[in-house]
Amino acid sequence: AGGYDKMAAAWYAALQSVPGSLGQGSSPSPSVSPSSSPSVPPSSTGAIKGVASGRCVDVPNASQTSGTQVQIWDCNGQPNQSWTATSSGELRVYGNKCLDVANMSTADGAAVQIWDCNGQNNQKWRFNSDGSITAVGANKCLDAPNYSTANGVKLQIWSCNGQANQRWTRV
């Protein structure tokens, strides 16, 4: 039993050092203001996966038509799910299309689509240390509406609230 107790104590001590793990107290309440600390280096390429859904930001049917609204879909490693974060803040797909807030809207519920890259603020995005992605021009977060996790759910921007439907990881 002595060896077990030593091993258990070592594991417990190790887990205490991991933020959000044992011994770290209660979870902090969600922040409504995303941190401006970028969590992804510029010019990184890969899929963007929803924390709540486990699905990837996807251009439906591999469309390259400007105005196509993006969705979440099972991650599949295809080019329509491969996003390049540029040093200027764009999220590019297919090399020449950008993730874009439709009509330069700043309203909750505004559609997120692809569009020819043009350098406007509605095509600038910021990866935040809390996992959210902020639409710079609107100062709102990339959002899966109503906490939906199903394939085909169209993405939007919404006031940042720290919930899992607004948190994303690079894969």
Tens of pLDDT along 44-89?
Answer: 999 999 999 999 999 999 999 999 999 999 999 999 999 999 999 9
3 and 44 part of one domain: no
Residue given tokens 């909750």 in the structure block: 108
CA atoms within 13 A on the CB side of 152: 0
φ and ψ at 82, to 5 degrees? Answer: -105, 110
Q: Which domain holds residue 103?
A: 31-170
Rounded to an integer, what distance in angstroms lies between the CA atom of residue 64 and that of residue 45? 18
Q: 42-54, pLDDT tens digit by residue?
A: 459 999 999 999 9
Count structural domains, the chain: 2
Question: Residue 6's pLDDT is what?
Answer: 52
Structure tokens at 33: 């203001």
Statement to judge: residues 42 and 6 lie in one domain? no
Task: Assess whether 116 and 155 both reside in one domain.
Answer: yes
